[in-house]
Structure 1
Amino acid sequence: MRRRAVLFLSAGSLLAGCSVGPNFQPDRMKLPPGFTETAEEHPATPEEIAHTDKEMTEWWSSFNDPVLTKLVEAAIKGNYDLQIAGQRILSERAMRDKAASAWYPQVDANAGGGDVRYSLNIDNWPLRPGNPANRPEASMLTYGMSATWEIDVFGRIRRSVEAQEHAVEASVEGRRALLMTLLSELANDYMLLRVTQLQIQIATNNIRVAQDSLDLTNRLYAEGLGNTLQIAQAQAELDAQIAAREPLKTRVSQVAHAISVLVGEMPGTLEEELKIVKPLPVVPAFPATMPSIVIANRPDIRMAERNYAVATAQIGVAVSDLYPHFVIPLNFNPNASAMYQLFQANAMSWQFLMMASLPLIHGGKYTSAVRAAQAEAEAARLNYRQTVLTGFREVEDAMAAWHDDIEYQEQLHKAAEDSSLASERARKLYAAGLIGFLDVLTTERTTLNAQNAEALSRLERLRDAVNLYTAIGAGWRGVPLTSSALPVSLETQNIWARALKQ
């Protein structure tokens, strides 16, 4: 028996080096050296490159807003979606270990006893010691051990483990992608909050102006220079300005609620703190250098490549089913009718074999699985390429918006200043009786629209920066995986889990 066991194990080790199916090869796309929308006019200096790398790591700090930085840190620690993604990584790692366990012998122990009865209606029923044919009942005691060991000759287990390892990597990139989305949403909400507060200030100023206009109209009417129509128009304008401010207050509350949830708090927890009006964050400078290779930082592209690796390994798993499977089963099950007989030599029963199975006729079941795995791998490769193209488009779009919105905001700022000046002059002319009140209303509404448009353009400038940093895959580096687990220790639940590696 020893000789046979050595033979089986030696044969297994010699054959275990073969893995069927293709090995993963990254799909290298030809990338342009840079982006077409970049503003680089000269090669970046080492200092500029180092500054850009720092911005990529913690891009939110480039807005010079301590409140935003504090919120980002709170979201990284407290966001529940991010913690869920972390648990999925831990789950994938455990599944990888589960797949790897197939490399080792699977051993189980058993013991039992009870009464059995054999049928007398079967011809030539084999008589058992101590159990004559006229006594079909018997007591049985048994104990033993069963084991099985699959020799991974054609790499089915290796390919399964390889696929699971790539799945772990994909889940890591998935968490990074979620982190980027979280930070982008948080920053955009925060910018919207501050710009809405600016719009409330604009609305409050316009209410004051409308109140001044109403007071002026009443005074002119008292002096015999106005009429009740003008008073009604001024009162209606004041009421409209007061009403326009209320939805802005609602938006501030709603955005504050959204930010609270993003950082893992109940809605309203941060409302009082966020309602304190702060200046708008500073728009950071455009990155000093932007080579196209920066696209490799995007977690969605990295995840798509890992998914392609998973699908490639699954081809090997499917192909291995076309080849023989080699298993070494071991069974040791002594049995007897009495306890004193259970450990005698005559009670011994064991089995040690080398089993091989080869699929013969299955109606195309296994070849179809191979074709399906190949198609899935090709789809994953094409999805990787599409993800790269989408990433480039998003970066180019973000760059174009960044550059175009600079001039757009400048023009709106000039329009707001000119409108304010026209509104002030119109009120003076009306007070002098040189123009009608309708002209005053027209200039005031133009001023309000221009100021709101300028505020929204400032919001777009801030969002352009956030979108560019997100598009180039910045913000996930340097953020470690936070591990958490339920307060249940496996070792305290099962003595065998503490004594043996199961």
Structure 2
Amino acid sequence: MKASFRLLPLLPSALLLLTVQLSARAEPDLTTAAFGDSTLDALVATAFENNVDLQAAAARVDQALAAAGATRADFWPQLSLNGSARRHSNLENGYLASDYASLPGTATWELDLWGRIRKGTQAARADAGTSAALHDAARVSLAAEVTQTYYTLRALQLESAIVTRSVTTRRDARRIVADRVEIGSSNPLDLARADTELALAEADAAAVAHRTANLEHALAVLLGEQPGPTTGTHVSTTALPSPPRVPSDLPAELLQRRPDIAAAEQSLAASSARIGVAKTAFFPTIRLTGSAGWESADFNNFFSGDNRVWSFGPSLYLPLFQGGRNRANLNRAEAAFAEQSARYRGAVLRAFQDVSDALAANRFLAEQTAATERAATAARRAANLSHVRYDAGVVSYLEVVDAERSALDAERATVRLQGQRLVAAASLIRALGGGWQRVAESSVPEPAL
């Protein structure tokens, strides 16, 4: 059945215009689950554990969470201890010495009357959400790349088996033709054609082996391993499975869990919050500052009660003239929000395109594969008949060569298309942000305080 994609509203318009809180996001499900291949599952698990690009993405999430935690610290009073001591003397005018020491503890607390700290924390938390979503995107992309490389490699290995069988067949055919030429039942031209076909088959085998080695190396890097001679042992050489069945009707809400859309949403939220931060620059900053400690010119009795000092009071900072700096910063924040809004809409449009392209690929590749399988069956039947006719002396070896070449091409095309269908299925799963199964929602982790 032809799969379709319902163009339902993806997100509320209010979310598109202004989002300053992290919304609940769905973790992408394991993109290999639909294939039911335990070997593939193990490869993806290894990639999730060892892939260096994914490790770098995870480190960026940790950085963003730490930055958000640092921003949240501004909500609390800042405590510090500042000590100093000095001795001064003037030797030119006689020996005069004086001592001075101080050890005050200071507490400063900014009153967040206009929301500068709150908005800054929201922006930092949204940045952490962006990093987390990009990490999810890296996981989904990695699983899809492993899946596509795995099935492409399996298809290529099956194609290699076909080509190897062709080399054996061409070598046997060449020997038969040589025997016939020797007894005079065939002409030397047939032997030259047999030599040509054997050489071409051997060249094909070398080319397929080269492509196989490159794919094995690519798979090893995805798994976080060094490419080597044992790389190909991961991959099964059995017949390719059928692609997972795509539901006939995919709801557009599935795109809400696409990590790139989640990342664009959180970037939009961060830009919105930074507009609020820029606006607070026009208002006064009020801080409560207090200090208490000891201060004395006598080192010997420094900690006596008479040397204790303290102070407490508010401070106010009001920008009167900044040369247009605050207005320019606000304009920049608003322009950044407009940019992220456009990026968000672009991410949604690209998501629809990705899914539409993947659905079309799945549909047309299925039709193409079915036709190619019919062609391969007919071509093999024609090749068998050509051998019978050649053995009977009815046709020349040229007809056998053409029929065998057509059968070989059809078999190889069938295997390639079977692999491409599995690759297209992985592309669809990636386009949907992890597959078409519905998964439970989870929140972005809170930054550590």
Q: Into which bin does the TM-score normalised by the smaller protein fall?
A: 0.7 to 0.9
Matching residue within 98, 102, 106 for 1:146: 106
| 1:389 corresponds to 2:349 | yes
**Residue of 328, 353, 377 corresponding to 2:337:** 377
Secondary structure of 1:340's match? coil
1:72-471 equivalences in 2 (<5 Å): 72-116=44-88, 137-268=97-228, 271-274=231-234, 277-332=237-292, 334-344=294-304, 347-471=307-431
Q: Say yes or no: does 1:26 pair with 2:1.
A: no
Relative to 1, partners in 2 of residues 1:28 and 1:402: Cα closer, same or farther, differing over 3 Å? farther
Contact 1:257-1:270 within 8 A present in 2 as well:
no
- Aligned partner of 2:413: which letter? A
Matched residue type, 1:327: R
Structure 1, residues 425-462: CA drift from partner, whole Å, max 9, x if none?
22222222222222222222222222222222112211
Q: Distance in 2 between matches of 1:479 and 1:201?
A: 46
Q: CA deviation at 1:242?
A: 1.2
Counterpart Cα distance in 2 of 1:149 and 1:86: 34
- CA shift for structure 1 position 154: 0.7
Q: Which moved more, 1:66-75 or 1:384-393?
A: 66-75
Length-normalised TM-score, structure 1: 0.78
Checking the alignment, whether the CA contact within 8 Å between 1:319 and 1:370 is kept in structure 2 is yes
Structure 1: gaps (5+ residues): 1-23, 30-52, 121-132, 484-500
Distance 1:265 1:149 in 2: 52
Secondary structure at 1:370 match in 2: helix
Residue 410 of structure 2 aligns with an amino acid whose one-letter code is A
Query: Quick one: distance in 1 between partners of 2:17 and 2:240?
Result: 43
Q: Is the 8 A contact 1:105 1:150 kept in 2?
A: yes
Note closer, same or farther for the CA distance 1:221–1:370 as it changes in structure 2 (3 Å cut).
same
Q: Distance in 1 between matches of 2:250 and 2:90?
A: 83
Secondary structure at the counterpart of residue 83 of structure 2 = strand
Report deviation, 1:178. Answer: 0.7
Contact kept, 8 Å, 2:177 with 2:191, in 1: the verdict is yes
Answer whether contact 2:281 2:326 (CA < 8 A) is retained: yes
- The 8 Å contact of residues 148 and 330 in structure 1, kept in 2 or not, is answered as yes
Secondary structure of the residue that 2:98 maps to in structure 1?
Answer: strand
1:197–1:469 distance in 2 versus 1, CA, 3 Å = same
Shift of 1:222: 1.8
CA–CA distance in structure 2, aligned partners of residues 108 and 389 of structure 1: 51
Residue type at the aligned position of 2:208: L
Give the number of the structure with larger relative contact order, counting CA–CA contacts within 8 Å between residues 6 or more apart. 2
Instruction: Report the residue type matching 2:362 in the other structure.
Output: W
Q: Residues 357, 275 of structure 1: CA spacing in aligned structure 2 closer, same or farther, 3 A cutoff?
A: closer
1:400: how far off? 1.3
- Residues 152 and 420, structure 2, Cα contact 8 Å, conserved in 1: no
TM-score by length of 2: 0.87
Give the root-mean-square deviation of aligned CA atoms. Answer: 2.9
CA distance in 1: counterparts of 2:156 and 2:209, whole angstroms: 8
Q: Residues 188 and 303 of structure 1: is their aligned pair in 2 closer, same or farther, counting only changes over 3 Å? A: same
Aligned to 1:147, what secondary structure does the other structure show? strand
For the structure 1 residues 171 and 286, does the alpha-carbon distance in structure 2 shift closer, same or farther, using more than 3 Å as the test? same
2:21 alignment partner in structure 1: none
Looking at structure 2, the residues matched to 331 and 378 of structure 1 have their Cα atoms a distance apart, in angstroms, of 45
What is the SS of the residue equivalent to 1:57?
A: coil
For 1:67, which of 4, 25, 39 is the aligned residue? 39
Measured after TM superposition, the shift of residue 117 of structure 1 is: 5.2
- Alignment identity in percent? 27
Q: Which of these two proteins has the greater Rg computed from alpha carbons?
A: 1
Aligned mates of 1:480, 1:273 — CA distance in 2? 37
Provide the C-alpha distance between the structure 2 equivalents of 1:162 and 1:294, rounded to a whole number of angstroms.
26
Determine the structure 2 residue equivalent to 1:15. Answer: none
Shift of 1:333: 5.3
Compared CA separation, residues 108 and 25, structure 1 to 2 (3 A) = farther
CA contact (8 A) 1:99 1:164 kept: yes
- Residue by residue over 1:221-245, the C-alpha shift from the partner in whole angstroms, topping out at 9 and shown as x without a partner, is 1221223332122112112201211
Secondary structure, aligned partner of 2:100: strand
Indicate how the Cα distance of structure 1 residues 59 and 362 shifts in structure 2: closer, same or farther if over 3 A, else same.
closer
The answer to whether the Cα contact below 8 Å between 2:99 and 2:299 also exists between their aligned partners in 1 is no
What do residues 24-49 of structure 1 show as CA deviations (whole Å, max 9, x unaligned)? 951179xxxxxxxxxxxxxxxxxxxx
Whether the aligned pair in 1 keeps the contact of 2:32 and 2:40 (CA below 8 Å) is yes
2:269 alignment partner, SS class: helix
Q: What CA distance in whole angstroms lies between the structure 2 residues aligned with 1:344 and 1:214? A: 110
Count of residue correspondences: 424
Greater Cα offset, 308-317 or 59-68: 59-68
C-alpha distance after superposition, 1:9-28 (max 9, x if no partner): xxxxxxxxxxxxxxx95117
Matched to 2:221, the amino acid is: V
CA distance in 1, matches of 2:51, 2:242: 26
The residue that corresponds to 1:491 in the other structure is: none
CA contact (8 A) 1:260 1:270 kept: no
Gap regions ≥5 residues in structure 2:
1-12, 19-25
Query: How far is 1:479 from its partner?
Result: 12
Q: Note the alpha carbon deviations across 1:120-177, whole angstroms, 9 max, x for none.
A: 9xxxxxxxxxxxx976642222222122211111111000111111112222211111
* Contact kept? 2:150, 2:235, Cα under 8 Å: no
Change (3 A) 1:117 1:444: farther
Q: Judging changes above 3 Å, is the alpha-carbon distance between structure 1 residues 282 and 112 closer, same or farther for their aligned structure 2 residues? A: same
Partners of 1:350 and 1:260 lie apart in 2 by: 66
Matched residues in 1 for 2:423 and 2:403: separation?
30
Q: Tell me if structure 1 keeps the 8 A contact 2:31–2:140.
A: no
